[in-house]
C-alpha cells in the first residue's frame, strides 16, 4: 500500500509535470546500486517485487507506457530499459527503410497521443475497493475509508471442533461448510437452531458448535454491514444471513420460554469467539421489521455474556462498531441513546467514540436527528460533567460536541459553571463556542457571576468581550446583576481561607475580581469609536463593601456618586496617603487630628464616609497633589454625567 501513492504520482504527473516523473524514475534506478552496494541484488529484487505487486493489484494496467514515454529523455529511458526490461515494451525490429521527416513527425505524434491515452484517470486507481460514484448533477462525496489489509482467503478449518459434536449436529455443520449458497446455509442454520432448542440437546457441545459457526461465518463479519442505499428492502436483505437466524428465533420467543435461555447462552458462546456479534445484534434489532420494539433483547444478551454488565458490553460493542463501520455507528446512535439512556447519557465514553470518527456530513445528520426529536445525547443532570470531560479531547471532537449540545434545548445556565474550569490557553474550543452562545443570551445573575469569577489576565479577553456586548445591549440588566453581586459580596463574612481548603475548591468571586473586570470594561468602552455607555445604576453609600487598604488596589473603583460641585470628584484615600514618607494617620482617631482635618477642609473637601481602612470624600483633584498617587483613586472618573 505504501508504494501505490508513489507510482500514481509518477503516472499523473507525466502530462502536466513530466520533470517530477523523470526525477522519481531516475531516483528509483540510481538507488539500486547505491543504497547498499553489498546487497545490490536484494535491493533490485525488492524494487522488482514492488513493481510486480503494482501490476498484480491493477494500480496500473501496464508500466511500459510510463517507462517508454517519449516525454522522458533518451538516457533515462535507456536506464529504465536496462534496469527493468521485464516491464518495458519489446524494442522495435530495425528497419532499413528511410522515412521522410514529415512521416516521422506524424508517427511520433501518433505515438505520443497513444501514450497519453494510456493516462486516463479512470485507469490508474488505488488497489483498495474505494471507487467513488460520480453521477451527473451530483457532488462527488469524499469520506474517510480505513485502509483495508489484504485478506488471504483460506478454507475454514473446523476439524478440531467437529469431533466434539454429536453425529446429527456434525452433519449439519458439514453441510454449511460444503455450500456457499446463502439461502441454503440459512435453511441448515435453522435446522441447527431447532436441534439446540430440543430438550435432549447436550449443552457441553455448545462451545465447540460456537467455534465452528464463528469460523464458518467469519466472512459475514467482514466489510460494511449497512447498505449503501438505505431502504426497507435493502435493510431486510442485509439481515438475511445465516447468523441472523439466531437473532430471529430469539426475537420471536418469549423470555419465559425454556429454549430462550439456551439460545441466549449459545449466542453468548458465539460472542466469545466472535466479538463482532454484539453490534450485529444491535443492527438486526434496529433494521429488521421482525425485531421492531425488541431492542431491550440486547440487555438480556449482555447479562448472559461473560461480562454480565450492560454498560460494559454496550461500550465494547460500540467500540468494535466504530473501528469497523462508522456509517453503522451513526445509524445505531439514535436507537442506542433512546433505548439505553442510563448507560449513554451519564458518561462521555460513547460520545467520544462518535465525535472521534464522524465527518462534517455525519455531524450534520446527527444534529438533524436531535432537532427532530429522534435523538437526545445530553441531559440536564449530566451534561456539565460530559462537557468537562470533553475538554481533554481533540479540537474537532470538542467542536462537534458543542455543536451537538447547542442542537439541544438545554438552558445555557445549566452548563455556565464550566467557565470556572476553562483556561484561555488550554481550552480555546470551549471558550469560543461558549462566547458565541452567551452573545445570544440576556445576562442573568448566574451568568454574570460566572463571567466575573474568571481570573483577570491581559491576554484573556473572554470576560471583557462578553461584558462589553452585554453593556451595549443590556446595560440596565447588566448593572443590576453586578450590583447584586456586590451586595452579596458585602454581606458574606470574610474569613481567611487556608491553602488546604482553597486548593480543593473553585475560586470564589471576590470584590477585587469584580472591580478589575469593571475597570477592563471601562477601558474597553473608552477606546471604542461607537457611542457605548458604561453600565450604571443608583448605588447608595451604604452599599460600599469593606475594602482592603487602597494601596493594594490597582484599579478604579466602581461606585458612581455624582459630584456635588462642578469639576469635583469622589476620591478614596488610604490611611498612609499623606505625603510620601510622611507620618501615617490613623483614621479611627483622625477627628482629633486638627492638622489632617484642617488640611483637607481648607481645600474645600467634604467628608461623607469613613472606614478603619480608608476615607471617602468629595474634593477637587488639585487638593491631592501632596498625596501618593498609588494610594489615591478616583471613584467618579468611571462616570460621565
More confident site: 91 or 274: 274
More confident site: 137 or 265: 265
Residues 24-52, mean pLDDT to the nearest whole number: 87
Residues 552-568, mean pLDDT to the nearest whole number: 40
The pLDDT, as a whole number, for residue 582 is 36
The pLDDT, as a whole number, for residue 347 is 81
Q: Is the CB of residue 563 less than 8 Å from the CB of residue 569?
A: yes
Return the top range by mean pLDDT from 118-127, 153-162, 168-177.
168-177
Task: Transcribe 71-114 into DSSP letters.
Answer: TS-HHHHHHHHHH-GGGSPPPPPP--PPPPHHHHHHHHHHHHHH
Q: Which of 459, 422, 457, 456 is nearest to 438 (CA)?
A: 422
Contacts of 457 (CB under 8 A, 6+ apart): 424
Residues 320-330, mean pLDDT to the nearest whole number: 92
The pLDDT, as a whole number, for residue 293 is 86
The pLDDT, as a whole number, for residue 197 is 87
The pLDDT, as a whole number, for residue 456 is 86
Spatial strand order in the sheet of 606-610: 606-610, 614-619, 569-574, 632-634
pLDDT at 367 over 90: yes
Percent of the chain with pLDDT over 90: 26
Helix (H) or strand (E) holding 417: none
- Based on the fold, state whether residues 290 and 378 are members of the same structural domain: no
- Based on the fold, state whether residues 406 and 417 are members of the same structural domain: no
The pLDDT, as a whole number, for residue 91 is 61
* 13 is a domain residue: yes
* Residue 283 pLDDT grade (very low, low, confident, very high; cuts 50, 70, 90): very high
Q: Which of 635, 639, 598, 636 is nearest to 614 (CA)?
A: 635
Torsion of CA 256, 258, 261, 265, to 10 degrees: -170
- Based on the fold, state whether residues 450 and 370 are members of the same structural domain: no
* 624 is a domain residue: yes
* Residue 637 pLDDT grade (very low, low, confident, very high; cuts 50, 70, 90): very low
Neighbours of 191 (CB within 10 A): 16
The pLDDT, as a whole number, for residue 458 is 85
- Based on the fold, state whether residues 445 and 327 are members of the same structural domain: no
- Based on the fold, state whether residues 221 and 333 are members of the same structural domain: yes
pLDDT at 122 over 50: no
- In the chain, how many domains are there? 5
pLDDT at 28 over 50: yes
- Based on the fold, state whether residues 319 and 400 are members of the same structural domain: no
- Based on the fold, state whether residues 340 and 356 are members of the same structural domain: no
Contacts of 329 (CB under 8 A, 6+ apart): 318, 321, 322, 353, 354, 357, 358
Residue-wise burial string across 423-456, b where 16 or more C-beta atoms lie within 10 A, e elsewhere: eeeebebbbebbeeebeeeebeeebbbbbbbbeb
- Based on the fold, state whether residues 47 and 84 are members of the same structural domain: yes
* Residue 329 pLDDT grade (very low, low, confident, very high; cuts 50, 70, 90): very high
Helix (H) or strand (E) holding 452: helix 445-452
Burial class (CB in 10 A: 0-12, 13-18, 19+), 16: exposed
The pLDDT, as a whole number, for residue 453 is 87
pLDDT at 350 over 50: yes
* Residue 383 pLDDT grade (very low, low, confident, very high; cuts 50, 70, 90): very high
- Based on the fold, state whether residues 301 and 185 are members of the same structural domain: yes
Q: 34: which 3 cell numbers?
A: 547505491
pLDDT at 67 over 90: no
Mean pLDDT of the chain: 75
pLDDT at 599 over 60: no
Helices (H) and strands (E) in the chain, counts: 29, 4
pLDDT (tens digit per residue) in 294-306: 899 999 999 999 8
Q: Which of 344, 373, 402 corresponds to the end of one domain? A: 344
Q: Which of 290, 324, 344 corresponds to the end of one domain? A: 344
- Based on the fold, state whether residues 335 and 439 are members of the same structural domain: no
The pLDDT, as a whole number, for residue 491 is 65
pLDDT (tens digit per residue) in 452-477: 888 888 888 999 999 989 988 888 88
201: containing domain: 158-344
Minimum mean pLDDT among 222-236, 397-411, 451-465, 486-500: which range? Answer: 486-500
* Residue 434 pLDDT grade (very low, low, confident, very high; cuts 50, 70, 90): very high
Strands 606-610 and 632-634: unpaired
* 526 is a domain residue: yes
- Based on the fold, state whether residues 289 and 369 are members of the same structural domain: no
pLDDT at 106 over 50: no
pLDDT at 607 over 80: no
* Residue 494 pLDDT grade (very low, low, confident, very high; cuts 50, 70, 90): low
* 142 is a domain residue: no
* Residue 82 pLDDT grade (very low, low, confident, very high; cuts 50, 70, 90): confident
* 434 is a domain residue: yes
More confident site: 363 or 121: 363
* 369 is a domain residue: yes
Q: 634: which 3 cell numbers?
A: 478616583
- Based on the fold, state whether residues 262 and 309 are members of the same structural domain: yes
Helix (H) or strand (E) holding 632: strand 632-634
pLDDT at 142 over 70: no
pLDDT at 431 over 90: yes
The pLDDT, as a whole number, for residue 565 is 37
Minimum mean pLDDT among 165-169, 487-491, 573-577: which range? Answer: 573-577
Residues 607-613, mean pLDDT to the nearest whole number: 43
Q: What is the SS3 assignment for 571?
A: strand
pLDDT at 114 over 70: no
pLDDT at 206 over 80: yes
Q: What is the SS3 assignment for 614?
A: strand
* 612 is a domain residue: yes
* 82 is a domain residue: yes
Residue written as grid cell 462525496: 141
The pLDDT, as a whole number, for residue 493 is 58
Q: Which of 374, 377, 372 is nearest to 400 (CA)?
A: 377
More confident site: 4 or 126: 4
Minimum mean pLDDT among 70-84, 139-153, 159-173, 562-576: which range? Answer: 562-576
More confident site: 513 or 251: 251
pTM of the model: 0.61
Amino acid at each position: 500500500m505504501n508504494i501505490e501513492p508513489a507510482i500514481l504520482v509518477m503516472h499523473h504527473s507525466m502530462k502536466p509535470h513530466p520533470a517530477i516523473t523523470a526525477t522519481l524514475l531516475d531516483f528509483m534506478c540510481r538507488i539500486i546500486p547505491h543504497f547498499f552496494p553489498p546487497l545490490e541484488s536484494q535491493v533490485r529484487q525488492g524494487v522488482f517485487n514492488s513493481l510486480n505487486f503494482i501490476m498484480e493489484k491493477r494500480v496500473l494496467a501496464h508500466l511500459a507506457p510510463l517507462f517508454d514515454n517519449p516525454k522522458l529523455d533518451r538516457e533515462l529511458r535507456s536506464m529504465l530499459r536496462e534496469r527493468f526490461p521485464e516491464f518495458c515494451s519489446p524494442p522495435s525490429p530495425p528497419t532499413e527503410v528511410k522515412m521522410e521527416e514529415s512521416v516521422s513527425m506524424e508517427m511520433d505524434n501518433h505515438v505520443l497521443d497513444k501514450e497519453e491515452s494510456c493516462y486516463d484517470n479512470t485507469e490508474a486507481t488505488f488497489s483498495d475497493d474505494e471507487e467513488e460514484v460520480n453521477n451527473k448533477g451530483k457532488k462527488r462525496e469524499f469520506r474517510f475509508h480505513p485502509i483495508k489489509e489484504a485478506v488471504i482467503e483460506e478454507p475454514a478449518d473446523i476439524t478440531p471442533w467437529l469431533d466434539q459434536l454429536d453425529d446429527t449436529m456434525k452433519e449439519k455443520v458439514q453441510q454449511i461448510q460444503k455450500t456457499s449458497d446463502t439461502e441454503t446455509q440459512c435453511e441448515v442454520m435453522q435446522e441447527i437452531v431447532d436441534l439446540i432448542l430440543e430438550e435432549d440437546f447436550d449443552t457441553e457441545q455448545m462451545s465447540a458448535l460456537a467455534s465452528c459457526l464463528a469460523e464458518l461465518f467469519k466472512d459475514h463479519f467482514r466489510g460494511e454491514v449497512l447498505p449503501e442505499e438505505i431502504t426497507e428492502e435493502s435493510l431486510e436483505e442485509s439481515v438475511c444471513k445465516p447468523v441472523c437466524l439466531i437473532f430471529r428465533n430469539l426475537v420471536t420467543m418469549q423470555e419465559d420460554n425454556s429454549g430462550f435461555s439456551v439460545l441466549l447462552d449459545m449466542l453468548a458462546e458465539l460472542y466469545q469467539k466472535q466479538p463482532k456479534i454484539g453490534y450485529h445484534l444491535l443492527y438486526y434489532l434496529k433494521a429488521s421489521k421482525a425485531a421492531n420494539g425488541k431492542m431491550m433483547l440486547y440487555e438480556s444478551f449482555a447479562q448472559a455474556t461473560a461480562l454480565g454488565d450492560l454498560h460494559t458490553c454496550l461500550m465494547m460493542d460500540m467500540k468494535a462498531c466504530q473501528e469497523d463501520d462508522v456509517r453503522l455507528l451513526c445509524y445505531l446512535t439514535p436507537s442506542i441513546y433512546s433505548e439505553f439512556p442510563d448507560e449513554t447519557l451519564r458518561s462521555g465514553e460513547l460520545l467520544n467514540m462518535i465525535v472521534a470518527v464522524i465527518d462534517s456530513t455525519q455531524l450534520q445528520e446527527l444534529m438533524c436527528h436531535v432537532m427532530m426529536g429522534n435523538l437526545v445525547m445530553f441531559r440536564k443532570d449530566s451534561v456539565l460533567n460530559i462537557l468537562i470531560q470533553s475538554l481533554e479531547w481533540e479540537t474537532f471532537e470538542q467542536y462537534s460536541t458543542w455543536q451537538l449540545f447547542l442542537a439541544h434545548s438545554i438552558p445555557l445556565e445549566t452548563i455556565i459553571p464550566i467557565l470556572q474550569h476553562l483556561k484561555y490557553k488550554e481550552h480555546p474550543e470551549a471558550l469560543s463556542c461558549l462566547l458565541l452562545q452567551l452573545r445570544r443570551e440576556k445576562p442573568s445573575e448566574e451568568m454574570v457571576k460566572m463571567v466575573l469569577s474568571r481570573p483577570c489576565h491581559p491576554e484573556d479577553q473572554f470576560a471583557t468581550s462578553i461584558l462589553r456586548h452585554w453593556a451595549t445591549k443590556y446595560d440596565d440588566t447588566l448593572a443590576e446583576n453586578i450590583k447584586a453581586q456586590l451586595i452579596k459580596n458585602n454581606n458574606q463574612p470574610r474569613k481567611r481561607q487556608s491553602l488546604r481548603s482553597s486548593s480543593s475548591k473553585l475560586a470564589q468571586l471576590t470584590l477585587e475580581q469584580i472591580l478589575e473586570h469593571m475597570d477592563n470594561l471601562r477601558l474597553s468602552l473608552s477606546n471604542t469609536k461607537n457611542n457605548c455607555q458604561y453600565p450604571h445604576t443608583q448605588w447608595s453609600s451604604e452599599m460600599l463593601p469593606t475594602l482592603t487598604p487602597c494601596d493594594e488596589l490597582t484599579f478604579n473603583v466602581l461606585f458612581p456618586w455624582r459630584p456635588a460641585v462642578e469639576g469635583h470628584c469622589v476620591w478614596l484615600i488610604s490611611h498612609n496617603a499623606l505625603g510620601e514618607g510622611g507620618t501615617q494617620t490613623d483614621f479611627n482617631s483622625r477627628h482629633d487630628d486638627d492638622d489632617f482635618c484642617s488640611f483637607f477642609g481648607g481645600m474645600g473637601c467634604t467628608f461623607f464616609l469613613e472606614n478603619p481602612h480608608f476615607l471617602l470624600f468629595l474634593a477637587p483633584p488639585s487638593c491631592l497633589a501632596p498625596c501618593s498617587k498609588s494610594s489615591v483613586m478616583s471613584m467618579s472618573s468611571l462616570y460621565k454625567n
